[in-house]
Homo-oligomer: A and B are copies of this chain.
Amino acid sequence: MDKILLGHGSGGRLMHDLIRDLFLKYLDNPVLRKMGDSAKIGQVKEKIAFTTDSFVVKPLFFPGGDIGKLAVCGTVNDLLVSGFKPVCLSCAMIIEEGFSLKELEKITRSIARAGREAGVNIVTGDLKVVERSSCDGLFINTSGIGRQTAKVNLDIKMIRPGDQIIITGTIGEHGIAVLSKRKELGFNFEVKSDCAALSDLLIPILKEDCGVKFMRDPTRGGLATSLNEIAEGSNFGIRLDEEDIPVSANVRAACLALGFDPLYIACEGRAVIFAESKKADKILRRLKKHPQAKGAAIIGEVVKENKAKVCLKTKSGGLRFVDMLAADILPRIC
């Protein structure tokens, strides 16, 4: 048997065997192993946070990752940028009848590896199988619980004019990596997704009162959309300097060829950090010591003017407003 059957989603013997032989094999831990209706986590002393994300990325495998790695990193990062350290994750799969068991195993291994790297276990799961053509291969939902690790409460309402805006690395790699795999674009270079869990990079910073006020991971809609959300939520303006925004040569070339603006292309391993003006340089130096944030940069600041808007000083010296992504340029990027 090398394909997923409808019966694998029945709740019966076939499903139990698949769970034991595949999911428990790679994702085993004492809580998951109990296979109860709920996973008993025990007591968490700190405040907790909760997040969920479904992943429908197409194709399932792309340079730098796959849907399994993405599903773990995406949810881990949503907790981290909120100031919470992941306690545990859930993983629910919807699989199309006929899906390759070998690919499912590859993806499950990838989930296990990403979990180990991020320091978090999958403690509960679910599996549904739908008939052929009722879903496109495999969709994964991960939800996660985090415990507060930030010394201060990260809150959009803490943002003030003068705060510096840091990005932890070059933008747009994830979107371009997925896209390049989807179509025959004929580039003579490969862009790897930045997909990564930011636990190692962010937890040490969160544990101190180092001047971080707010963070977000610029995924769907890219940096421009995240910053617009923050400008609206804080009701201050944001001024960016195009020259300071790190974009790799390959992403820049791909965007030029495709007519995209890298500001709108999804990242899956970056955080945008709002920090007290005086402490921003120190945070930046610290970030740059970590391999995940060698390309980190201060890209702009919070201003009183142009409330709720994002304004970009272009390389040519002009100023233009950068709006939120209107609709979709890259569906199924995550």
Contacts and interface: CB of A to CB of B under 8 A. Distances in A.
Interface stretch (A22-30, A103-111, A139-147, A186-194): A139-147
A157 to B, nearest CB: 10
A9 interface: yes
A45 B82 CA distance: 21
Contacts of A90: 50-52, 143
A325 B16 CA distance: 10
Given A41-B47, A50-B90, A94-B139, A36 B328 contact: no
A81 B92 CA distance: 20
A113 B123 CA distance: 29
Interface in A57-105: 77-79, 81-82, 84, 88, 90-94
Q: Could you tell me the dominant secondary structure of chain A's interface residues?
A: mixed
A40 B147 CA distance: 10
Given A10-B221, A327-B13, A327-B14, A124 B42 contact: no
Contacts of A124: 50-52
A143 B39 CA distance: 11
B225 A12 contact: yes
A331 B130 contact: yes
Contact of A123 (B39, B50, B88, B136): B50
Interface of A: 5-7, 9-14, 16, 36-56, 77-79, 81-82, 84, 88, 90-94, 123-126, 128-131, 133-136, 139, 141, 143-146, 156, 216-217, 219-221, 225, 229, 266, 323-329, 331-332
Closest 9 CB pairs of A and B: A11-B220, A7-B327, A12-B325, A11-B221, A52-B90, A143-B143, A10-B328, A38-B82, A38-B49
